Structure 1
């Protein structure tokens, strides 16, 4: 897939030094989205005991968070609040505190947030899994907390899962009954879609996007998007990035790069007197 570079728009600036926040809320898929070497996470999880990969020789891949930070440089800061293994139950207890720290008590406010949960919730047993009705209740609570602060929200649903890969790498989970199935991912994704419609916020339907990718691939599979059965490869993150950009352009065009002012002008137009006048 071709990445079209984001123009810098240097003429669109203001004399300000506060940076609004773009908050990424989620689980391990969000936590790892800043890593351009996904194989290093794969190895850190204790996989590939045959030594087929090394961190030194792993390939450089598309970096979701890095690309967002590049896009929004001098406009917004990208804040990663992904927590590996967490689900909507954990986040229900965390969301108010996270928003209090990052928004309520902060000089720089959150303007946009992504909410990407459901992959762990859809597991068939605890501690990963959360029953469907409880999941939706948790997510509604979380969504309300975000929207009550006038933060523009994009909800992201879980995508494809490959149990043949995941279960071979995680026999301990299999013994505990912590299994995952695509039917459950789809169910939880559809529930999130209905919630997004209820609150009139955009929904990134990753499951449908993975289905479309598989349909159009030579192998009729989305495995190129998924590293270990759950977590994403660079190509998987690139697809998510493109879907997110589309959602922002359609629902929140004021939050797209061309419509946001840079902090301070180009170096050759720098006016020290105007910088002195910035109020904090």
Structure 2
């Protein structure tokens, strides 16, 4: 059976298989080499994700069967909602967010010791974009998220990765290296445009390659068309 890559996260993961999405790009990149398995849950924070982790991964193979090559863990955008604004029920205090990330990493490592765990920080927030998006549902006139708060959670995610000796994609920092990132990479101040998805995809590919995981290092599933003997096609499938 093909090896797996599992994508675990909130809406930015759940929507990663939409047109131009980073999950779809990964599936295309590893075509016939690995299956990309989506486990994204819109609106979820680390507290909720940890609560249902056993249920989420219950149907997937264990270590003795077919451990995934890698698992991306992409939470924090909802944890970082401000506790005194419209999405307060999604807020998770910073210290708990860090503890939850450690617990998620421990859970995944216990289930799949050989899997590469990749943390991804929350993206930066375009507060103007959030206000425009929330205009009809927000009487306060204030964004439920701020870039400053997202940055605090992103830095904590990077810190957890260092403590757990696992790679991290610092999306919050990376996106802001580009001029005009607010509208180029974010469709509503939070979720990703195709160009924003491209940043995530390329960053993950870079991490995977550093750890020896790429289409070049994985076997192709079944013979390529060019390898099939036209004089005796079925014989090609015997090995």
What's the TM-score bracket when you normalise by the shorter of the two chains?
A: 0.7 to 0.9
What are the Cα deviations for residues 196-244 of structure 1, in whole angstroms up to 9, with x where unaligned?
Answer: 0111111101111112113xxxxx4432100011100000000111111
Tell me how far apart the structure 1 counterparts of residues 64 and 23 of structure 2 sit (CA, whole Å).
22
1:191 corresponds to: 156
Secondary structure (helix, strand or coil) at the match of 2:38 reads strand
Q: Quick check: 1:158–1:188 contact (8 Å CA) kept in 2? A: yes
Q: Is the 8 A contact 1:158 1:206 kept in 2?
A: yes
Secondary structure, counterpart of 2:238 in structure 1: helix
| CA shift for structure 1 position 156 | 0.3
CA deviation string 1:171-212 (max 9, x = no partner): 435659871111111110111101101111111011111121
Give the drift of 1:102.
1.6
- Normalising by structure 2, we get a TM-score of 0.87
**In the alignment, what sits opposite 1:35?**
18
Shift of 1:99: 2.7
Structure 2 counterpart of 1:78: 36
Alignment of 1:19 with 2:14, yes or no, is no
C-alpha contact (below 8 Å) 1:26/1:82 kept by paired residues: yes
Per-residue CA deviations over 1:62-89 (Å, capped at 9, x if unaligned) read 3322221111112111111111111101
Structure 2, gaps ≥5 residues long = 230-234
2:132 counterpart (168, 192, 203): 168
Work out which of the residue numbers 184, 194, 213 in structure 2 matches 1:224. 184
CA distance in 1, matches of 2:139, 2:206: 37
- 1:140-151, aligned counterparts within 5 Å? 140-148=102-110, 149-150=112-113, 151=115
User: 1:249-272: CA deviations, max 9, x gaps?
Assistant: 12x21x211101112222405534
Contact 1:249 1:256 in 2 (8 A): yes
Q: 1:87 aligns with which of 39, 42, 45?
A: 45
Written as runs of structure 1 = structure 2, the 5 A alignment for 1:182-261 is 182-214=147-179, 220-250=180-210, 252-253=211-212, 255-261=213-219
| More moved, 102-111 vs 159-168 | 102-111
Asked if 1:114 is matched to 2:72, the reply is: yes
Tell me if the contact between 1:88 and 1:135 (Cα under 8 Å) persists in the aligned partners.
yes
Q: CA RMSD in A?
A: 2.1
SS of the counterpart of 2:58?
A: helix
Count the aligned residue pairs: 225
The CA deviation string for residues 131-153 of structure 1, in whole angstroms up to 9 with x for no partner, is: 11111111110011112222211
Among candidates 123, 128, 138, match of residue 90 of structure 2: 128
Aligned residues of 1:117 and 1:157 also touching (Cα < 8 A): yes
Q: Report what 1:3 is aligned to.
A: none
Match of 1:158 among 119, 122, 138: 122
Please give the alpha-carbon distance, in whole angstroms, between the structure 1 residues aligned to 2:63 and 2:208.
Answer: 26
Residue number in structure 1 paired with 2:232: none
Counterparts in 2 of 1:27 and 1:256: CA distance versus 1, 3 Å: same
CA distance in structure 2 between the partners assigned to 1:211 and 1:175 by the alignment: 27
**Where do 5+ consecutive residues of structure 1 fail to align?**
1-17, 37-61, 215-219, 275-280
